[in-house]
Structure 1
Amino acid sequence: MKKAWKIVLAVVLALLVVVLGYVAYVFIDYHRIGNQELTVERNAAATVEAGKEYGILSYNIGFGAYEDDYSFFMDGGTESRAWSEERLTANIERIGAFLQQQDADLYLLQEVDRDSTRSYHVDEGTMLTAQLPGLGYTWAQNYDSPYLFYPLDQPHGKSVSGLLTLSSFGITETRRVELPIEAGVMKLVDLDRCYSVHRIPAADGRELVLYNVHLSAYTSDGTIAVEQLELLRADMQAEYEKGNWCIAGGDFNKDLLGQSEEIFGGSAEGYTWAQPLPEGIWDGTNLSLVAPLDETDPVPSCRNADAPYHEGQYVLTVDGFVVSDNVTVEQAVVEDTGFAWSDHNPVSMRFVLN
């Protein structure tokens, strides 16, 4: 009997050592990437012009995993990785083909993996830029996480994911800007965060300052995304005061319409990331939110991934743009893909630089 207890005790101690060792690894390996200068690949020579209409498209591609039958464990679903490498690469190819068909001069893509367990280490950035050969591009790493050994039957693993920006215009300078994140254990859940900034010159000496944004989702109460937005707001306002045009686009992880429940149905209860932006967030600035909405045929930009896409699932619009007062918005819409390749639909905008 004593021998049996010794064996049980040895097993328990061994498991405890493994668990403590893993916890130590996660905290020791954790790091923030920081602010960085980025490299522009295939840089173009064209400049922007005042008075001319341009197009921009923003799309969180959900690392190529979120087909309409996919659910994600961190949203209450079941899956931690894409269904398979074959299905993932097929999704990326379809996303690239969709982008080729769009009449856009600028593309802002989020959750583009380059070396992640969840996406079978497929370099999605290289695949997408190969499908859009006429555009210059940058890639800003959003996070570089330790190996997440959960769920136990199929660990989410290590993620190297970021923001891919493509431009038909020349970019003179680009950088990664680190965003504030939560402290404590929550920093291991939401990982690092950033936005990328691109300076595109005009012939008259001014610049279009372009921001690719993906704010935090998995936070304790949603307030950290507001702090991140305040940093972006201050950056854009400072650029506007220099005489530049400013456009930010991406996934804000907030209910940009402020009333998505009334427009699309469903309930936001329990979803801290789905809260409306604070009232008066743009007061005292020369900036405004552009939340895409066709009132006659409203289409959401995001679905909750707690289950495969189905009628009655909670949907909302979290993707959109922020522009400075010297940018005239001609049109802003959600492109309805039926959530075929991502838990997001793309959003597009036509604009004129005044």
Structure 2
Amino acid sequence: MIKKLLKFLLTIIIALVVLFAIYCAYVFISYHRIDDMTALEIENNSSKDVLEKDTSYTIASGNLGFGAYSDDYSFFMDGGTESWAFSKTAVYNNINGSIDVIKSLNPDLILLQEVDLNSTRSYHINEKDIILENLAKTGTDKISTTFSINYDSPFLMYPITQPHGKTLAGEFTISSVNISKAIRRSLPIEEGLSKLIDLDRCYAKNYIPVEGGVYLVLYNVHLSAYTTDPSTADNQVKMLNEDMLAEVEAGNYVIAGGDMNKDVLGDSTKYFGTSAKDQYWAVAFPEELLDSCFTVVKPVDPNNPVPSCRNADSPYNENSFVITIDGFIVSSNVEVSESNVVDTGFKYSDHNPIYMDFKLK
């Protein structure tokens, strides 16, 4: 009887080991990176073909948190409990809520990050379609758009109680002026096992015509936060800088915006009275790696500072760690008049939207 029991247990253990080996093989075989310099599909539906110089424009940016991060949400990778959005209804409410806030700014350009197309975590809802439907309802659908994939992952079997699953997500760029050309640039990422859990980091590079035969080169950016090797994050900024510099030297205007995943205020704790003691990722954005013709635009009102991001280790509360990691980078031929964060109380995402008013000189 004991021998039969031991044989049964051994069989179970061997089966589990084999299944685990098969799963590991699946993850490694499925892993791939999208080729650098991939041309992006452009959907043009605007009646405007050029931006004008010395004209005021507004650009907005927001990380939508795949439609999950309402203010009562916490995420398992940040130390919280959830791996999926609470429900399909929550996804629709959060995406539409975020877009309604951004639309209230009447932006000419919109940069969105963490927009899911077909992911387990967001019930396989195409969030790009939700956004387009929302814009169409208010007649603001005469736009040009591009979508850049930065997360096409194999099925993640963790946590066991509710596996995070497979993810297909990216960066959505929206312009009131038709985009002429768009390219996906692959950023440096971690090597080794770390590459399996990080995004396939990239930025979308959109060429928008400006009167006079030049372009506004608009970068939709989502940089890495958690890297075991600090040089990886620095190399991402160096690559972005070299790319932007080439466009400036070609006579173009440059704006980069999005989730920089670094403290764009330098030290957000001075503004928000929080401590970054246990937040090893909350380091200052390395402005020293940028050429002198670029400026990091810090979205903040010193008299009434509002953070752009909260830590999602627990539902949002007065003790939550907050920081501003969303911002813009502009070339010297772009004149900025204002930039700030919209205070939503993190109602729809773990990021508050940011905006910037500017002119092309």
Would you say same fold, with TM above 0.5?
A: yes
Q: Distance in 2 between matches of 1:298 and 1:212?
A: 24
Q: Which residue of 1 aligns with 2:138?
A: none
Alignment of 1:8-87 (within 5 A): 8-35=9-36, 36-44=38-46, 45-87=48-90
Partner-residue secondary structure (3-state), 1:187: helix
How far 1:279 sits from its partner (Å)?
Answer: 5.5
Q: Deviations over 1:24-53 (max 9, x none)?
A: 110110000122101111342331111111
Q: Distance in 2 between matches of 1:279 and 1:55?
A: 23
Matching of residue 277 in structure 1 with residue 280 in structure 2: no
Indicate conservation of the 8 Å contact 2:44/2:179, yes or no. Answer: no
Q: Deviations over 1:284-330 (max 9, x none)?
A: 43111001110000000000000000112110000000000000100
AA at the equivalent of 1:188: L
AA at the equivalent of 1:9: L
Alignment of 1:112-191 (within 5 A): 112-132=115-135, 133-191=141-199
Q: Distance in 1 between matches of 2:273 and 2:35?
A: 40
Query: Cα gap change, 1:23/1:76 in structure 2, threshold over 3 Å: closer, same or farther?
Result: same
How far 1:267 sits from its partner (Å)?
Answer: 2.1
AA at the equivalent of 1:40: I
Matching of residue 330 in structure 1 with residue 299 in structure 2: no
Query: Cα gap change, 1:222/1:345 in structure 2, threshold over 3 Å: closer, same or farther?
Result: farther
State the identity %.
51
Matching of residue 197 in structure 1 with residue 205 in structure 2: yes
Indicate conservation of the 8 Å contact 2:190/2:229, yes or no. Answer: no
Q: Distance in 2 between matches of 1:142 and 1:228?
A: 14
Aligned residues: 353
Indicate conservation of the 8 Å contact 1:190/1:217, yes or no. Answer: no
Q: Distance in 1 between matches of 2:178 and 2:118?
A: 28
How far 1:222 sits from its partner (Å)?
Answer: 4.1
With 317-326 and 90-99 compared, the bigger mean Cα shift is at 90-99
How far 1:281 sits from its partner (Å)?
Answer: 2.1
Q: Distance in 2 between matches of 1:146 and 1:47?
A: 40
Indicate conservation of the 8 Å contact 2:287/2:296, yes or no. Answer: no
Q: Deviations over 1:54-113 (max 9, x none)?
A: 000000010010000000011111100000111111212222322332221000000000
Partner-residue secondary structure (3-state), 1:50: coil
Q: Which residue of 2 aligns with 1:267?
A: 275
Indicate conservation of the 8 Å contact 2:207/2:218, yes or no. Answer: yes
Q: Distance in 2 between matches of 1:333 and 1:203?
A: 28
Indicate conservation of the 8 Å contact 1:72/1:80, yes or no. Answer: yes
How far 1:221 sits from its partner (Å)?
Answer: 4.4
Q: Which residue of 2 aligns with 1:306?
A: 313
Partner-residue secondary structure (3-state), 1:49: coil
Q: Distance in 2 between matches of 1:230 and 1:268?
A: 25
Structure 1 segments (4+ residues) deviating >4 Å? none
Q: Distance in 2 between matches of 1:217 and 1:182?
A: 11
AA at the equivalent of 2:51: V
Gaps of 5+ in 1: none
Q: Which residue of 1 aligns with 2:293?
A: 286
1:214 pairs, out of 186, 211, 222, with: 222
Indicate conservation of the 8 Å contact 1:220/1:272, yes or no. Answer: no
Q: Distance in 2 between matches of 1:221 and 1:265?
A: 29
Indicate conservation of the 8 Å contact 1:222/1:272, yes or no. Answer: no
Q: Distance in 1 between matches of 2:133 and 2:91?
A: 16
Partner-residue secondary structure (3-state), 2:329: strand
Q: Which residue of 1 aligns with 2:249?
A: 241
Indicate conservation of the 8 Å contact 1:237/1:285, yes or no. Answer: no
Q: Distance in 2 between matches of 1:343 and 1:223?
A: 26
CA RMSD of aligned residues (A): 1.2
Q: Which residue of 1 aligns with 2:239?
A: 231
Q: Distance in 2 between matches of 1:105 and 1:340?
A: 24
Q: Distance in 1 between matches of 2:339 and 2:312?
A: 25
Gaps of 5+ in 2: 136-140
Partner-residue secondary structure (3-state), 2:170: strand
Q: Distance in 1 between matches of 2:78 and 2:19?
A: 28
Query: Cα gap change, 1:30/1:347 in structure 2, threshold over 3 Å: closer, same or farther?
Result: same
Matching of residue 316 in structure 1 with residue 316 in structure 2: no
Q: Distance in 1 between matches of 2:125 and 2:224?
A: 24
Indicate conservation of the 8 Å contact 2:43/2:146, yes or no. Answer: yes
Q: Distance in 2 between matches of 1:53 and 1:96?
A: 22
Indicate conservation of the 8 Å contact 1:221/1:272, yes or no. Answer: no
AA at the equivalent of 1:26: V
Indicate conservation of the 8 Å contact 2:268/2:324, yes or no. Answer: yes
